[in-house]
Amino acid sequence: MPPKYEDGSKKVTGHREAIRYKRPGLLSDGVIFLHGNIHIARKTQELLQKLEWEVWSHTHTLPNLDSKHPSGTMFSSNSDVKTAVESWLSGHGRDFYQAGLNKLVLRSDKCLNRFGDYVEK
């Protein structure tokens, strides 16, 4: 198991090595990195971009995703995960997605204009 580091970019590198060790071949399929903190250091952002990992913010930054969230659910296959996600996504109307996208644009703009520094809602 890779050691834990203080520096976020070293944590990412450690995660990458753990994936390579535990799930050979998975890195070539692409990685979605679920980040628990939206305020990522620029060095870490650059590394994630270099690794071509897709980065998602944790759901606590998106409160509407917490409703009916399958917390603690263990899925036996990727197709089970896909089915659960598709079911959740189809259960929301157009207004839900439009409101979420509008908030995303505003918050992303604020964050980018402050070079990743903390942004109040």
- Sequence-distant (6+) residues with CB within 8 A of 16 are 27, 31, 51
- Sequence-distant (6+) residues with CB within 8 A of 32 are 53, 54, 55, 56
pLDDT the model gives residue 8? 62
pLDDT the model gives residue 35? 66
pLDDT the model gives residue 2? 46
Q: What one-letter code names the amino acid at 12?
A: V
pLDDT the model gives residue 60? 47
pLDDT the model gives residue 38? 59
Residue tagged 């992303």 (tokens): 108
Q: What's the pTM?
A: 0.34
Which of the residues in the chain have pLDDT under 70? 1-10, 12, 24-40, 57-72, 116-121
pLDDT the model gives residue 90? 86
Stated as kind and residue range, the H or E segment containing 33 is: strand 32-35
Stated as kind and residue range, the H or E segment containing 57 is: strand 54-57
